[in-house]
Structures are given as structure tokens and as C-alpha cells.
Amino acid sequence: MRLLIVGTLNGQLSTATKMAMAKGAKVTHTETTAQALDTLRSGRGADLMMVDVGCDIADLIVQLQNEHICIPVVACGVDTDARAAVNAIRAGAKEYIPLPPDAELIAAVLAAVADDGHALIFKDPKMGDMIRLADQVAPSDASILITGESGTGKEVMARYLHRRSLRRDKPFISVNCAAIPENLLESELFGHEKGAFTGAVARRIGKFEEADGGTLLLDEISEMDLRLQAKLLRAIQEREIDRVGGKAPVKVNIRIIATSNRDLQGDARAGRFREDLFYRLNVVNLKLPPLRERPADILALAEHFAERYAKANGVPTKPISAEARRFLTRHGWTGNVRELENTMHRATLLATGPEIDVEAIRLPDGSRLDETAPALGVAQKAAIAADAASRAFIGRTVAEVEQDLILQTLGHCLGNRTHAANILGISIRTLRNKLKEYSESGIAVPVPGGEARVSFG
């Protein structure tokens, strides 16, 4: 955890720093927001910013957004200054910590940002075999490609590899290649010089340099543009990068881990991904099995999430009933670990008795699962679904059917664009363009978390 503290914190700087360091955080301090921005641009990254509420937090957050620096901001101030706290939250701060600081509160905020979800929980033999292979290759500098369905835990595995590598004390930097617009991804990875393009107000160090000495995770690398893949290949081969607008190459020493939920080798053969880059990344392939093929992991993870979200929501930790356990292992888990996590989060909130029973395991809209319906064979289910689908299509345009399919799939995925695009078999960019079109037409579009939001331009 890298913590950047900005301002004097009303004279409580030393105390807050000691508390954060006691919880394992690496702390950097700047007196002003301008200095903080210079620190971030220089490649000395941060996972969290604690900012004195006396600073111009609104302007800081605007500048972070303008430069596409995605770091959560927590405001700090004297506990009697309620107005300043409200203004900071409205400006975009994620949380407000009253001063003088409380050790438990700071620990809770750091834990929330560090995300305990990075723990690797497993009991199934299939996953055990994968972990043994990961343990073998972790100490090396070999590039690793982690593949598997969306939600299987590819980033968790990447962090596991880093923690067991010889680079464990150096940075672990993650870049989601699908979440950053194509025209900005090059600058995000390789950095840029001042004036290299509109909005480049100062030199900024990219993720390659920020990860120097450590590990760089290229998440969802299959979404990277072919032109940029060529530059990435050169960076990996030559161990040097060129900043956008730069005049001289910069040496870097990093280990590359990449993830994909698509058949990257098939994409390479079809010309959608550079074959030479695929082989450069695929020195070792860790293919994570879907959750439905890891029954022992389903219950281990369910118990882990039940305990975690009970603590997070201040409710008693309850055991999972025998009936609920049977249901959990029978379910298909198309969303894998992510779907199971959301299900158990809901279950901890909905359970009313001494146990988490099957009544608490519900769909995102709160409806109960129908356990009374007779079991149908695969062929019967397919026939019923096909008949219902064909009847629903009659009298409707292709655009209307497409819109319903996209929005229903996105709703099923709780607003997760990547997962929905994977299910639909389209690129994340195509999905985003469609959703933008719907939103501008006043149609409610599910946002991450499952709610719907309408934009009127």
C-alpha cells in the first residue's frame, strides 16, 4: 500500500504517518496539491491520497481526472468541521477522516483500499495443481499469461505471483487495457512529455517506468490496439520504452504478467492479435478453471465472503445451511467468483435466521430462487428457451431485439461491461458505443453494481 499524504493535517501529520506505517503503508508527504501532482507525474505512484481538507480538494480531483490519474482521495480535517467534510465528499473524496486521527479508522480505510479480496482462497484439487505451477514459476522473470473466463480471479493470481517473486518488495502496477480509451492507453503505459498532445500539461511518467524493478500487469490485453501491440512488443524485447513526444528511449526493468478472458491464440491466428507478441507473453500459461469445475472452492469461497461481508456490514457472521450449501454447489456460476461474491454479499444482508439458508440466496433484484420447479434436462431447457425466444422476436426490429439483449445481459452482469461484452461476443468498445447511444436516447443503462442510470446528454 502506497499512501500519499497532502498538507499538514492540522498538525497531526506525524501521528497519522506513524499509524499508517504501522499498518504496512509506505508513506510519502507533500505540502501542497501541486507538489502531489508533480510526485504522481514523476512515477512515484500512490494507491491512496489522504488530503488535508484545507486544500482545494475539488481542484485536485479535477486535475487528477484531466490527467487520467485514477487514485482515490480521502479528506482529513478537524472533526467539528462538518461543512468542510460535506464539501470534500461532494467534490469527489471517497471518505472523510476526522482529526486527531484514530488508528482503527485509518486501518479500516487502508484495508478497504488495499482490498482483502486479493487473498487467494482455494481447496479444490484443480486449483491446487494451478497454485503449484504458479509457485514454480513465480521466482523467475518469465512473462506469464493468465487466461480464464471473466471473474475467475486472474488479477488475484497475478498478485499472488508477484508476492512470491523476487520482486515482491518492488511495485505491482496494474493497467486495465479495456478500461482506458485507445487514444490514451499509449500515454498511460509509456508516459508523455509536456506538450506531446492536447492536455499534456506536464511530463508524466507512465506505468512501465512506475513499475520499474517490479511487476506490470496488463489486464485484458486482448483489447489492445494492434498498433500499440507493436510498441509493447518492442518494449518487452528491448527492455526500453519511448515516452509519447520523447526524444530518447528509457531503460526499464520489469516483469510482465498479462491476462485475457478470450482465446488469445485463436485471435493471433485470425490476425486480431499479434502472433509474435502472443508468444512473447505466453512463456508460461496459467489457465484458471471456471468456478463450476472447482466445487470444493465454491464452498470455501462462500464461507470466506460470508465472513468478510458480515464484518464489513456490522452483522453477525452466520454459518451456511446444508440446503444452501447444496444449492451453491449445483449452481452454474457463469460469473464465476465475482458472481459468487455478489451473491454471498446479498445473502449476509438478507439472512434472517441463525444460518444463511437458501431463502437468503437471491437474484440481484431480490427475487427468490424457485426451488419448487421440476428439474429439466438440458434438451428440455434448450427447447423451452428457443420457443420462448422465437415468440418474443415476432413483430420486432433487429435493433430492438439487439437493445434488449445487450441491456438484459448487462443487467445480469450487474453492470460489468467486460463480462457482458464477453458473453455477447463483442468488443468492449462496441458495447460502450451501444450503451452511449442508448443513454443519449434516455434509456436506463445498468451501471456497475446493478443499478440503472439515465443520461440526457
Domain extent listing, the chain: 2-114, 132-287, 293-360, 389-453
- DSSP letter at 369 equals P
pLDDT reported for residue 379: 43
Q: 1, 47 in Cβ contact below 8 A? A: yes
pLDDT reported for residue 219: 94
**343, pLDDT greater than 50:** yes
What's at 414, amino acid-wise?
Answer: L
Q: Who has greater pLDDT, 133 or 89? A: 133
Segment (H or E) for 422: helix 417-424
Round the average pLDDT of the chain to a whole number and report it. Answer: 84
Pick the CATH number of 389-453 from 3.90.320.10, 1.10.10.60, 1.10.287.3240, 3.10.350.10: 1.10.10.60
pLDDT reported for residue 381: 42
Q: How large is the average pLDDT for residues 403-421? A: 82
Query: Which positions ≥6 away from 322 have C-beta within 8 Å?
Result: none
> Quick one: pLDDT band at residue 394, thresholds 50, 70, 90?
low
Gyration radius of the chain's alpha carbons: 24
Whole-model pTM above 0.85? Answer: no
Highest mean pLDDT among 264-278, 359-373, 375-389: 264-278
Q: Decide: residue 327, CB within 10 A, 0-12 exposed, 13-18 middle, 19+ buried.
A: middle
pLDDT reported for residue 118: 63
**386, pLDDT greater than 60:** no
Q: How large is the average pLDDT for residues 283-305? A: 93
Pick the CATH number of 293-360 from 3.40.50.1370, 1.10.8.60, 1.10.132.50, 3.40.250.10: 1.10.8.60
pLDDT reported for residue 372: 36
Q: How large is the average pLDDT for residues 243-247? A: 88
Least confident of 159-168, 248-257, 376-385: 376-385
Segment (H or E) for 375: none
Highest mean pLDDT among 57-71, 117-131, 350-364, 442-456: 350-364
Pick the CATH number of 2-114 from 3.40.50.1000, 3.40.50.2300, 3.40.47.10, 3.40.50.150: 3.40.50.2300
pLDDT reported for residue 396: 66
d(CA 304, CA 311) in angstroms, rounded, equals 11
Return the CATH fold of 132-287. Rossmann fold (3.40.50)
Tell me if domain 2-114 and domain 132-287 are identical in fold: yes
pLDDT reported for residue 80: 64
